Amino acid sequence: MNRARKAGEQQKRPTVYDVAAEAGVSAMTVSRVLNGSPGAGPDARRRVEKAVVKLGYRRNENARRLRAGDRTGLVGVIITNIENPYYAQLLLGVEEVMDKAGTRLLVGMSHADSEREARLVADFVSRQVDALIVVPGGGDASHLAADQVRQTPIVFASRSSDSIQADSVLIDDAGGSRRGVETMIEAGHRRIAFLGNAKHVTTAQRRYEGYVAAHSAAGLPVDPALVSRSCSDSETSRVALEQMVASDDPPTAVFAANNQVTIGIIETLLRLSREGRQMALVGVDDFPLSALVPLPVLLVDHDPRAMGRTAARRVLQRLENAEEKQPPMTLTLATSLRWPGDAKQHPRP
Protein backbone atom coordinates (compact mmCIF):
# COMPACT_ATOMS: atom_id res chain seq x y z
CA MET A 1 0.00 0.00 0.00
CA ASN A 2 2.81 2.39 0.94
CA ARG A 3 4.67 1.55 -2.28
CA ALA A 4 1.51 2.24 -4.32
CA ARG A 5 1.00 5.56 -2.55
CA LYS A 6 4.63 6.49 -3.12
CA ALA A 7 4.40 5.58 -6.83
CA GLY A 8 1.28 7.73 -7.15
CA GLU A 9 3.06 10.66 -5.51
CA GLN A 10 6.01 10.27 -7.89
CA GLN A 11 3.69 10.32 -10.89
CA LYS A 12 1.83 13.40 -9.65
CA ARG A 13 2.39 16.40 -11.89
CA PRO A 14 4.70 18.93 -10.15
CA THR A 15 3.17 22.26 -9.17
CA VAL A 16 4.49 25.79 -8.73
CA TYR A 17 4.70 25.04 -5.01
CA ASP A 18 6.89 22.00 -5.68
CA VAL A 19 9.24 24.15 -7.76
CA ALA A 20 9.30 26.79 -5.04
CA ALA A 21 10.17 24.20 -2.38
CA GLU A 22 12.94 22.70 -4.53
CA ALA A 23 14.41 26.12 -5.34
CA GLY A 24 14.01 27.49 -1.80
CA VAL A 25 11.99 30.52 -2.94
CA SER A 26 8.37 31.64 -2.72
CA ALA A 27 5.67 30.61 -5.19
CA MET A 28 5.41 34.29 -6.20
CA THR A 29 9.09 34.28 -7.17
CA VAL A 30 8.56 31.15 -9.29
CA SER A 31 5.63 32.86 -11.01
CA ARG A 32 7.73 35.95 -11.75
CA VAL A 33 10.53 33.85 -13.27
CA LEU A 34 8.15 31.78 -15.42
CA ASN A 35 6.34 34.88 -16.68
CA GLY A 36 9.56 36.81 -17.31
CA SER A 37 8.46 39.51 -14.86
CA PRO A 38 10.85 41.69 -12.84
CA GLY A 39 11.31 41.17 -9.11
CA ALA A 40 13.47 38.04 -9.03
CA GLY A 41 17.26 38.23 -8.69
CA PRO A 42 19.75 36.32 -10.90
CA ASP A 43 20.46 33.68 -8.23
CA ALA A 44 16.76 33.03 -7.62
CA ARG A 45 16.16 32.75 -11.37
CA ARG A 46 18.94 30.16 -11.75
CA ARG A 47 17.57 28.10 -8.87
CA VAL A 48 14.03 28.22 -10.23
CA GLU A 49 15.15 27.25 -13.75
CA LYS A 50 17.21 24.38 -12.33
CA ALA A 51 14.23 23.16 -10.25
CA VAL A 52 11.92 23.34 -13.29
CA VAL A 53 14.25 21.07 -15.27
CA LYS A 54 14.82 18.67 -12.37
CA LEU A 55 11.11 18.24 -11.58
CA GLY A 56 9.95 18.30 -15.20
CA TYR A 57 7.50 21.11 -14.42
CA ARG A 58 5.21 22.34 -17.21
CA ARG A 59 2.72 25.15 -16.94
CA ASN A 60 -0.99 24.61 -17.62
CA GLU A 61 -1.35 27.05 -20.52
CA ASN A 62 -5.16 26.86 -20.53
CA ALA A 63 -5.39 27.76 -16.87
CA ARG A 64 -2.88 30.59 -17.30
CA ARG A 65 -4.77 32.04 -20.24
CA LEU A 66 -8.10 31.83 -18.44
CA ARG A 67 -6.70 33.64 -15.39
CA ALA A 68 -5.41 36.33 -17.72
CA GLY A 69 -8.79 36.59 -19.43
CA ASP A 70 -7.39 35.27 -22.71
CA ARG A 71 -8.76 32.59 -25.01
CA THR A 72 -7.73 28.97 -24.65
CA GLY A 73 -6.87 28.46 -28.31
CA LEU A 74 -9.23 25.49 -28.52
CA VAL A 75 -12.27 25.07 -30.79
CA GLY A 76 -14.68 22.14 -30.51
CA VAL A 77 -15.93 20.49 -33.71
CA ILE A 78 -18.85 18.06 -33.65
CA ILE A 79 -19.68 16.12 -36.81
CA THR A 80 -22.07 13.22 -37.29
CA ASN A 81 -19.67 10.49 -38.46
CA ILE A 82 -16.17 10.71 -39.88
CA GLU A 83 -16.77 7.47 -41.84
CA ASN A 84 -18.70 9.67 -44.26
CA PRO A 85 -15.95 11.13 -46.50
CA TYR A 86 -17.98 14.32 -46.82
CA TYR A 87 -17.48 15.16 -43.14
CA ALA A 88 -13.84 14.08 -43.23
CA GLN A 89 -13.27 16.67 -45.98
CA LEU A 90 -15.22 19.31 -44.04
CA LEU A 91 -13.05 18.65 -40.99
CA LEU A 92 -9.87 19.00 -43.06
CA GLY A 93 -11.09 22.43 -44.22
CA VAL A 94 -11.66 23.53 -40.62
CA GLU A 95 -8.23 22.25 -39.58
CA GLU A 96 -6.53 24.04 -42.48
CA VAL A 97 -7.72 27.46 -41.32
CA MET A 98 -7.42 26.85 -37.58
CA ASP A 99 -3.86 25.53 -37.86
CA LYS A 100 -2.75 28.75 -39.55
CA ALA A 101 -4.43 30.68 -36.72
CA GLY A 102 -2.59 28.66 -34.07
CA THR A 103 -5.84 27.10 -32.84
CA ARG A 104 -6.21 23.44 -31.92
CA LEU A 105 -9.32 21.30 -32.39
CA LEU A 106 -11.27 19.01 -30.11
CA VAL A 107 -13.30 16.69 -32.36
CA GLY A 108 -16.30 14.53 -31.47
CA MET A 109 -18.84 12.47 -33.41
CA SER A 110 -22.53 12.57 -32.51
CA HIS A 111 -23.65 9.74 -34.83
CA ALA A 112 -26.80 11.88 -35.33
CA ASP A 113 -27.77 11.18 -31.71
CA SER A 114 -29.08 14.29 -29.90
CA GLU A 115 -28.19 12.97 -26.44
CA ARG A 116 -24.65 12.12 -27.50
CA GLU A 117 -24.36 15.54 -29.13
CA ALA A 118 -25.53 17.17 -25.89
CA ARG A 119 -22.85 15.31 -23.90
CA LEU A 120 -20.16 16.38 -26.35
CA VAL A 121 -21.28 20.02 -26.21
CA ALA A 122 -21.28 19.99 -22.39
CA ASP A 123 -17.85 18.35 -22.30
CA PHE A 124 -16.29 20.79 -24.78
CA VAL A 125 -17.77 23.81 -22.99
CA SER A 126 -16.43 22.51 -19.66
CA ARG A 127 -12.99 22.40 -21.29
CA GLN A 128 -13.33 26.13 -22.02
CA VAL A 129 -13.30 25.93 -25.82
CA ASP A 130 -13.38 29.34 -27.44
CA ALA A 131 -16.11 28.33 -29.90
CA LEU A 132 -18.02 25.40 -31.38
CA ILE A 133 -18.52 24.27 -34.97
CA VAL A 134 -21.45 21.87 -35.06
CA VAL A 135 -23.08 19.70 -37.70
CA PRO A 136 -26.44 19.22 -35.92
CA GLY A 137 -27.67 15.66 -35.85
CA GLY A 138 -31.27 16.84 -36.04
CA GLY A 139 -34.11 16.57 -33.58
CA ASP A 140 -33.93 18.18 -30.16
CA ALA A 141 -31.31 20.96 -29.99
CA SER A 142 -32.29 22.42 -26.60
CA HIS A 143 -28.81 21.60 -25.24
CA LEU A 144 -27.45 24.36 -27.47
CA ALA A 145 -29.70 26.91 -25.77
CA ALA A 146 -28.34 26.32 -22.23
CA ASP A 147 -26.97 29.44 -20.55
CA GLN A 148 -23.39 28.16 -20.29
CA VAL A 149 -23.44 27.14 -23.97
CA ARG A 150 -24.94 30.38 -25.26
CA GLN A 151 -21.86 32.22 -23.97
CA THR A 152 -19.79 30.18 -26.45
CA PRO A 153 -19.93 31.24 -30.12
CA ILE A 154 -21.52 28.52 -32.28
CA VAL A 155 -21.31 28.10 -36.04
CA PHE A 156 -23.45 25.46 -37.73
CA ALA A 157 -21.94 23.75 -40.79
CA SER A 158 -23.80 21.84 -43.52
CA ARG A 159 -26.95 21.67 -41.42
CA SER A 160 -28.79 24.32 -39.43
CA SER A 161 -31.24 24.21 -36.54
CA ASP A 162 -34.84 25.39 -36.59
CA SER A 163 -34.81 26.07 -32.85
CA ILE A 164 -31.44 27.81 -32.33
CA GLN A 165 -30.35 31.05 -33.97
CA ALA A 166 -26.64 30.92 -34.80
CA ASP A 167 -24.26 31.55 -37.67
CA SER A 168 -24.72 28.88 -40.35
CA VAL A 169 -22.64 27.83 -43.36
CA LEU A 170 -24.85 25.91 -45.79
CA ILE A 171 -25.07 25.03 -49.45
CA ASP A 172 -27.93 25.93 -51.77
CA ASP A 173 -29.69 22.64 -51.00
CA ALA A 174 -33.08 23.54 -52.45
CA GLY A 175 -31.75 25.23 -55.58
CA GLY A 176 -29.18 22.56 -56.38
CA SER A 177 -31.70 19.76 -55.85
CA ARG A 178 -34.28 21.46 -58.03
CA ARG A 179 -31.78 21.85 -60.89
CA GLY A 180 -30.75 18.21 -60.57
CA VAL A 181 -34.33 16.92 -60.71
CA GLU A 182 -35.12 19.24 -63.64
CA THR A 183 -32.42 17.55 -65.73
CA MET A 184 -34.23 14.22 -65.34
CA ILE A 185 -37.58 15.79 -66.20
CA GLU A 186 -35.99 17.33 -69.31
CA ALA A 187 -34.76 13.85 -70.26
CA GLY A 188 -38.38 12.66 -70.29
CA HIS A 189 -38.69 11.13 -66.80
CA ARG A 190 -41.98 11.57 -64.96
CA ARG A 191 -41.70 9.00 -62.18
CA ILE A 192 -38.73 10.18 -60.13
CA ALA A 193 -38.09 8.67 -56.71
CA PHE A 194 -36.86 10.71 -53.76
CA LEU A 195 -34.65 8.95 -51.18
CA GLY A 196 -33.45 10.99 -48.21
CA ASN A 197 -33.21 11.53 -44.46
CA ALA A 198 -36.08 12.31 -42.13
CA LYS A 199 -37.61 15.79 -42.33
CA HIS A 200 -36.07 16.92 -38.99
CA VAL A 201 -32.68 16.84 -40.76
CA THR A 202 -32.64 20.34 -42.25
CA THR A 203 -30.60 19.44 -45.34
CA ALA A 204 -33.03 16.64 -46.19
CA GLN A 205 -35.98 19.00 -45.81
CA ARG A 206 -34.48 21.65 -48.08
CA ARG A 207 -33.53 19.05 -50.70
CA TYR A 208 -37.04 17.62 -50.64
CA GLU A 209 -38.39 21.14 -51.16
CA GLY A 210 -36.18 21.42 -54.26
CA TYR A 211 -37.49 18.07 -55.51
CA VAL A 212 -41.09 19.24 -55.06
CA ALA A 213 -40.36 22.63 -56.66
CA ALA A 214 -39.01 20.95 -59.81
CA HIS A 215 -42.17 18.86 -60.10
CA SER A 216 -44.42 21.88 -59.52
CA ALA A 217 -42.62 23.97 -62.15
CA ALA A 218 -43.14 21.15 -64.68
CA GLY A 219 -46.78 20.68 -63.72
CA LEU A 220 -46.10 17.18 -62.39
CA PRO A 221 -47.62 15.69 -59.24
CA VAL A 222 -45.43 14.12 -56.55
CA ASP A 223 -46.39 10.47 -56.01
CA PRO A 224 -46.07 9.64 -52.28
CA ALA A 225 -45.27 6.04 -53.24
CA LEU A 226 -42.01 7.31 -54.75
CA VAL A 227 -40.90 9.23 -51.65
CA SER A 228 -38.89 7.65 -48.84
CA ARG A 229 -37.77 10.00 -46.06
CA SER A 230 -36.36 7.40 -43.70
CA CYS A 231 -33.10 6.55 -45.49
CA SER A 232 -30.66 6.94 -42.62
CA ASP A 233 -27.82 4.93 -44.21
CA SER A 234 -26.80 2.93 -47.27
CA GLU A 235 -28.75 -0.20 -46.30
CA THR A 236 -32.07 1.52 -45.62
CA SER A 237 -31.67 3.32 -48.95
CA ARG A 238 -31.11 0.07 -50.81
CA VAL A 239 -34.18 -1.52 -49.24
CA ALA A 240 -36.36 1.52 -50.03
CA LEU A 241 -35.40 1.48 -53.71
CA GLU A 242 -35.81 -2.30 -53.99
CA GLN A 243 -39.39 -1.94 -52.72
CA MET A 244 -40.15 0.82 -55.22
CA VAL A 245 -38.79 -0.99 -58.28
CA ALA A 246 -40.75 -4.12 -57.32
CA SER A 247 -44.05 -2.21 -57.46
CA ASP A 248 -46.52 -2.27 -60.36
CA ASP A 249 -45.62 1.31 -61.33
CA PRO A 250 -41.90 1.68 -60.55
CA PRO A 251 -39.78 4.84 -60.89
CA THR A 252 -37.61 5.39 -63.96
CA ALA A 253 -35.26 7.83 -62.17
CA VAL A 254 -33.92 8.44 -58.67
CA PHE A 255 -32.93 11.54 -56.73
CA ALA A 256 -30.53 10.54 -53.92
CA ALA A 257 -30.48 13.29 -51.28
CA ASN A 258 -26.98 12.49 -49.96
CA ASN A 259 -23.92 10.44 -50.85
CA GLN A 260 -24.72 7.61 -48.42
CA VAL A 261 -28.03 7.09 -50.24
CA THR A 262 -26.24 7.08 -53.60
CA ILE A 263 -23.72 4.50 -52.41
CA GLY A 264 -26.51 2.32 -51.03
CA ILE A 265 -28.51 2.14 -54.25
CA ILE A 266 -25.72 1.66 -56.81
CA GLU A 267 -25.82 -2.14 -56.49
CA THR A 268 -29.55 -2.15 -57.22
CA LEU A 269 -29.12 0.19 -60.18
CA LEU A 270 -26.36 -2.00 -61.61
CA ARG A 271 -28.58 -5.07 -61.32
CA LEU A 272 -31.45 -3.28 -63.07
CA SER A 273 -29.08 -2.13 -65.80
CA ARG A 274 -28.01 -5.71 -66.45
CA GLU A 275 -31.71 -6.58 -66.76
CA GLY A 276 -32.18 -3.84 -69.34
CA ARG A 277 -33.89 -1.38 -66.96
CA GLN A 278 -31.42 1.49 -66.75
CA MET A 279 -32.55 4.31 -64.46
CA ALA A 280 -31.49 7.95 -64.33
CA LEU A 281 -29.67 9.00 -61.16
CA VAL A 282 -28.92 12.36 -59.58
CA GLY A 283 -27.14 12.39 -56.21
CA VAL A 284 -26.19 15.17 -53.82
CA ASP A 285 -22.47 15.25 -52.84
CA ASP A 286 -19.57 13.36 -54.35
CA PHE A 287 -18.48 9.96 -53.06
CA PRO A 288 -15.29 7.84 -53.34
CA LEU A 289 -14.56 6.41 -56.80
CA SER A 290 -17.63 8.08 -58.29
CA ALA A 291 -15.83 8.42 -61.64
CA LEU A 292 -15.47 4.64 -61.84
CA VAL A 293 -19.15 3.76 -61.41
CA PRO A 294 -20.28 2.19 -64.72
CA LEU A 295 -23.54 4.13 -64.70
CA PRO A 296 -24.45 7.70 -65.68
CA VAL A 297 -24.42 9.63 -62.38
CA LEU A 298 -25.09 13.37 -62.19
CA LEU A 299 -23.87 15.00 -58.97
CA VAL A 300 -25.21 18.09 -57.23
CA ASP A 301 -21.72 18.95 -56.10
CA HIS A 302 -19.80 21.41 -53.95
CA ASP A 303 -16.53 21.48 -52.02
CA PRO A 304 -16.93 20.33 -48.38
CA ARG A 305 -13.41 21.57 -47.61
CA ALA A 306 -14.50 25.05 -48.67
CA MET A 307 -17.45 24.75 -46.29
CA GLY A 308 -15.07 23.79 -43.46
CA ARG A 309 -12.77 26.72 -44.24
CA THR A 310 -15.72 29.12 -44.37
CA ALA A 311 -17.06 27.90 -41.01
CA ALA A 312 -13.61 28.22 -39.44
CA ARG A 313 -13.16 31.76 -40.74
CA ARG A 314 -16.57 32.71 -39.39
CA VAL A 315 -15.56 31.42 -35.96
CA LEU A 316 -12.37 33.49 -36.04
CA GLN A 317 -14.35 36.57 -37.08
CA ARG A 318 -16.72 36.06 -34.14
CA LEU A 319 -13.82 35.72 -31.72
CA GLU A 320 -11.99 38.75 -33.08
CA ASN A 321 -15.12 40.89 -32.75
CA ALA A 322 -16.43 39.39 -29.52
CA GLU A 323 -17.50 42.78 -28.16
CA GLU A 324 -19.75 43.46 -31.14
CA LYS A 325 -23.22 41.94 -30.80
CA GLN A 326 -23.79 41.03 -34.43
CA PRO A 327 -26.93 39.10 -35.36
CA PRO A 328 -26.43 35.56 -36.68
CA MET A 329 -25.80 35.27 -40.40
CA THR A 330 -26.26 32.47 -42.90
CA LEU A 331 -23.60 31.98 -45.56
CA THR A 332 -24.87 29.94 -48.54
CA LEU A 333 -22.35 28.29 -50.84
CA ALA A 334 -23.20 27.57 -54.46
CA THR A 335 -23.59 24.09 -55.93
CA SER A 336 -22.82 22.85 -59.42
CA LEU A 337 -23.95 19.93 -61.58
CA ARG A 338 -21.15 17.54 -62.56
CA TRP A 339 -20.86 14.22 -64.36
CA PRO A 340 -17.90 12.47 -62.65
CA GLY A 341 -17.68 9.56 -65.12
CA ASP A 342 -17.60 9.12 -68.88
CA ALA A 343 -21.40 9.23 -69.33
CA LYS A 344 -22.69 12.76 -69.78
CA GLN A 345 -26.44 12.29 -70.17
CA HIS A 346 -29.38 10.55 -68.51
CA PRO A 347 -30.86 7.38 -70.02
CA ARG A 348 -34.33 7.86 -71.46
CA PRO A 349 -37.30 6.31 -69.63
The three-state secondary structure class of 124 is helix
Most confident of 2-16, 105-119, 166-180: 166-180
Does 60 have pLDDT greater than 90?
no
Spatial strand order of the sheet with 330-333 comes to 104-109, 74-79, 131-134, 154-157, 167-171, 330-333
Does 5 have pLDDT greater than 50?
no
Structural contact between residues 32 and 43, judged by C-beta atoms closer than 8 angstroms: no
pLDDT number for residue 1: 42
Rounded distance, CA 230 to CA 91, Å?
26
In percent, how much of the chain has pLDDT > 90?
67
pLDDT number for residue 116: 92
pLDDT tens profile 294-337: 999 999 999 999 999 999 999 999 998 876 778 999 999 999 99
pTM (predicted TM-score): 0.79
Over residues 217-245, the mean pLDDT reads: 96
pLDDT confidence tier of residue 283, bands split at 50, 70 and 90: very high
pLDDT confidence tier of residue 6, bands split at 50, 70 and 90: very low
Which long-range contacts (C-beta less than 8 Å, at least 24 apart) are formed by 311-314? 311/90, 311/93, 311/94, 311/133, 311/155, 311/157, 311/169, 312/75, 312/93, 312/94, 312/96, 312/97, 312/98, 312/101, 312/133, 313/97, 314/155, 314/167, 314/169
Over residues 179-206, the mean pLDDT reads: 96
3-state secondary structure 142-167: HHHHCHHHHCCCEEEECCCCCCCCCE
pLDDT number for residue 10: 44
Does 2 have pLDDT greater than 60?
no
Which domains, ranges and CATH numbers included, belong to the chain? 2-59 (1.10.260.40), 74-171+304-335 (3.40.50.2300), 173-302 (3.40.50.2300)
> 332 or 44: whose pLDDT is higher?
332
